[in-house]
Amino acid sequence: MDIQFNRNEDAMKLSLTEMRKRLHKIYEGGGKKSIEKQRERNKLTARERIDYLRDADKPFIELGAFAGYDMYAEQGGCPAGGTVAGIGYVSGRQCIIVANDQTVKAGAWFPISGKKNLRMQEIAMENRLPVIYLVDSAGVFLPMQDEIFPDKEHFGRIFRNNARMSAMGITQIAAVMGACVAGGAYLPIMSDETLMVEGNGSIFLAGPYLVKAAIGEDIDAETLGGAVTHTELSGIADYKFKTEQECLDEVKKLMSKLGEKKKAGFDRVAPKPPKKNPEELYGLFPADGKPYDMLEIIERIVDDSDFDQFKQDYGKTILCGYARIDGWAVGIVANQRTIVKNKKNEMQLGGVIYNDSADKAARFILNCNQKKIPLVFLQDVTGFMVGSRSEHSGIIKDGAKMVNAVANSVVPKITIVVGNSYGAGNYAMCGKAYDPRFIYAWPTAKIAVMGGDQAAKTLLQIQVAAMKAKGKEVSAEEEKKLLDEIKGRYDAQTTPYYAAARLWVDEIIDPIETRKVISEGIAAANNNPDMDDLRVGVFQV
């Protein structure tokens, strides 16, 4: 391979090392002291519970590990949003697992905790996946109650979803392994079955201290709402166990008895590995933002490196075509990053959506819907083409057609942000607002309304104009300092970590994992047989 390939590979591996370093810190939860306190009470950590519960020989894809990253510094942080969650298998059944991390503020719910838990329920509802809740939480984080309690997408929405999921026939199992307090007490009781661990598990609307303050009654937690109380007296819980391991073993038994349900019927054949080595993804993706051939990326993700292009010689800045990923039939829509030339001998910039590529992509998306083929979007987009020529050619109406097709698509969509995700290009290429079933980012992803240089210069002009309007002269040195400050702040907001912290993406992944997450995403989507009829809005012509 050439020197540029080696440089790219080194840069990607460095970024992956940095990602794993950050993850290692996140995996410590509330810290070693908090973990030791768990162990003193014969309690496993959230991650240990999931590892014990899930099928070790099948994939587990953690989701939202970076939730809350670098947020809530004044409250001491909230690693992983105080919740460990993901999609995996228990007794051979694919499911969502959500585990409160008691080492993080006693498992209390921060605003991002609520958002993450709602996202897990959304995934379960969209894909008809069973949900297992491993409950160990002190309830709402009171200092921030106004940001987690009263609004539509806040804490209460979780219990509303419990009820809706039950009506949809989605199995929900709650294992109460620690505190389950106040409004949070409804989650296990609104699940299909509730299991409790003696001595540690407790469920009550008000704990002993609040009971004492409210009505003057002295009572301990176990008598008030422990496993014995709720399995023998109130009838609220269904099973009790001496240890967490026994409790989790019962969850496995319950899951093993779930009946088979109808599938969506997406096409799958025996998987074939790519002919081209997936590890070469590290060296093919440029570290310096230079052009590259997206086809080379695709051929290291799809089975047998076989990509059947649609309208190959038209609208070349977007690649569209059929392929298989781990056996699953998929339609791929990907931004081409090389400079191309159309039949009119016009040069077109890679990563930019032009009139012809927008038309082509819209048509291909509708074709995949017609054929019931899931869509995969590979984003490295700087936006739609600008300037008088594009505007006069109707780029807005052509872009609107593509956005219309993406918005009204009914087949499952999975989005991978490999590089830039700027402006309306983010929307047209199925960004978060367009309901992808799953959305992942490579460590090289950048998500923003526009590139850092353009944004910083625009913001600088506004700021300097405002200063001059007040009669303040701005020197060249001051302008440069302002520009550097603005760009530094803006660039920090475009990183995949900033996006993942706010759940704009479900997870940051190693590029090598791209095949796996897409395959597991389609396997999840295949559990939901219900699909709306395709109806598109009015197309501008």
* Cα–Cα distance measured from residue 349 to residue 338, given in angstroms and rounded to the nearest whole number: 7
**471 and 330 share one domain:** no
Tell me what pLDDT residue 481 has.
79
pLDDT tens digit string along 102-122?
999 988 889 999 999 999 999
Q: Is residue 8 part of a domain?
A: no
pLDDT tens digit string along 123-153?
999 999 999 999 998 878 777 888 888 888 8
Tell me what pLDDT residue 183 has.
66
Residue entry with tokens 């794993």: 20
**248 and 326 share one domain:** no
Average pLDDT across the chain, whole number: 92
Tell me what pLDDT residue 147 has.
82
Number of domains forming the structure of the chain: 3
pLDDT tops 80 at residue 366: yes
Q: Is residue 533 part of a domain?
A: no
462 vs 8: which has the higher pLDDT: 8
Q: Is residue 9 part of a domain?
A: no
Most confident of 88-92, 176-180, 341-345, 446-450: 88-92
pLDDT tops 80 at residue 75: yes
* Cα–Cα distance measured from residue 140 to residue 227, given in angstroms and rounded to the nearest whole number: 22
Tell me what pLDDT residue 452 has.
67
Instruction: Give me the CATH number covering residue 361.
Output: 3.90.226.10
Q: Is residue 116 part of a domain?
A: yes
CB 508 within 8 A of CB 443: yes
The stretch 295-307 carries a mean pLDDT of 98
Q: Is residue 231 part of a domain?
A: yes
Lowest mean pLDDT among 88-92, 424-428, 452-456: 452-456
pLDDT tens digit string along 481-495?
777 777 778 788 899
**311 and 384 share one domain:** yes
What backbone torsions phi and psi does residue 331 show, to the nearest 5 degrees? -105, 130
**412 and 357 share one domain:** yes
pLDDT tops 70 at residue 518: yes
Residue 420 DSSP SS3:
strand
What backbone torsions phi and psi does residue 411 show, to the nearest 5 degrees? -75, 155
pLDDT tops 90 at residue 282: yes
**306 and 235 share one domain:** no
Q: What is the 3-state secondary structure (H, E, C) of 80-113?
A: HHHEEEEEEEECCEEEEEEEECCCCHHHCECHHH
Tell me what pLDDT residue 466 has.
78
Tell me what pLDDT residue 461 has.
78
Residue entry with tokens 């228990």: 90
Length of the chain as a residue count: 541
The stretch 275-304 carries a mean pLDDT of 96
Tell me what pLDDT residue 394 has.
66
336 vs 147: which has the higher pLDDT: 336
**479 and 355 share one domain:** no
For the chain, how big is the Rg over CA atoms in Å? 25
**378 and 486 share one domain:** no
pLDDT tens digit string along 176-233?
999 888 767 788 889 999 999 999 999 988 888 888 888 988 998 888 989 999 999 9
**44 and 147 share one domain:** yes
CB 298 within 8 A of CB 324: no
| 227: containing domain | 31-256
Tell me what pLDDT residue 205 has.
83
What backbone torsions phi and psi does residue 173 show, to the nearest 5 degrees? -125, 130
Q: At what angle do helices 111-127 and 514-525 cross, to 10 degrees?
A: 60
Tell me what pLDDT residue 491 has.
81
Q: Is residue 264 part of a domain?
A: no
Tell me what pLDDT residue 495 has.
95
**96 and 221 share one domain:** yes
Residue 524, phi-psi category: left (phi > 0), alpha (psi -120 to 50), beta (remainder): alpha
**441 and 456 share one domain:** no
Extract the tokens encoding 11.
Answer: 């840069």
Q: Are strands 375-381 and 413-422 parallel, antiparallel or unpaired?
A: parallel
**332 and 475 share one domain:** no
Tell me what pLDDT residue 344 has.
85
* Cα–Cα distance measured from residue 148 to residue 196, given in angstroms and rounded to the nearest whole number: 26
Q: What is the share, in percent, of the chain residues with pLDDT greater than 70?
A: 98
Lowest mean pLDDT among 82-91, 184-193, 325-334, 499-508: 184-193
Distances (CA, A) of 440 to 27, 72, 309, 324, 518: 19, 24, 24, 19, 9
Tell me what pLDDT residue 404 has.
94
pLDDT tops 60 at residue 1: no
Cβ partners under 8 Å of residue 92, min gap 6: 55, 58, 256
Lowest mean pLDDT among 49-58, 469-478, 516-525: 469-478
Closest CA to 131 of 186, 72, 193: 193
CA-CA-CA-CA torsion for 487, 489, 491, 496, nearest 10 degrees? 180
Q: What is the 3-state secondary structure (H, E, C) of 178-244?
A: EEEEHHHHHHHHCCCEEEEECCCCEEECCCHHHHHHHHCCCCCHHHHHEHHHHHHHCCCCCEEECCH
Tell me what pLDDT residue 132 has.
98
Residue 465 DSSP SS3:
helix
Q: Is residue 80 part of a domain?
A: yes
**315 and 336 share one domain:** yes
